[in-house]
Amino acid sequence: MNRSKRYSPEIRERAVRMVFEHQREYESEWAAMCSISSKIGCTAETLRKWVRRSETDQGKRSGMTTSDREKLKALEREVRELKRANEILRKASAFFAQESATGSRRCADRSIDLVHRRASGRIWGRAGLQAIADRPFDVLRREGA
């Protein structure tokens, strides 16, 4: 029977503090944890984990602190999301590249025709069109193109 109980942060902090304060009264740290855990209503192993986590957070024991763990989880979540977005972009890029390869000539001819019509009746060659495409929009507007 594996029943999971949730203990409030206040109970955890109090139990850990009691272990630190009363540890000298017992023959070992484990004996103190067994005694205090029975008073709190949790198992000795649960209390031992809380004590170890507290020691790590305080810097008394080596290991990853709770805040570092949370930061790592957030970064891993962000990396997963970015990888998913990159995969979507990669697939979309491949799809549109394939589409443009099949209809690129037709699209290019249509866009050249539109530019010719918008140019107030002026007909330019490819070099002239490229020169217009390279200029900023506000310069073209001033020139009346």
Q: Is 97 helix (H, G, I), strand (E, B) or coil?
A: helix
* CATH architecture of residue range(s) 9-63: Orthogonal Bundle (1.10)
- Reading the block at residue 93, the tokens are 């890029």
What is the tens place of the pLDDT at every residue in 8-40?
Answer: 999 999 999 999 999 999 999 999 999 999 999
Average pLDDT of the chain to the nearest whole number: 80
Q: CA nearest 128: which of 145, 105, 110, 144?
A: 145
User: Any idea where the domains of the chain sit in the sequence?
Assistant: 9-63, 69-143
| Whole-Å CA distances, 60 to 56, 81, 126 | 6, 35, 73
What is the tens place of the pLDDT at every residue in 48-104?
Answer: 999 999 999 999 999 999 999 999 999 999 999 999 999 999 999 988 888 777 655
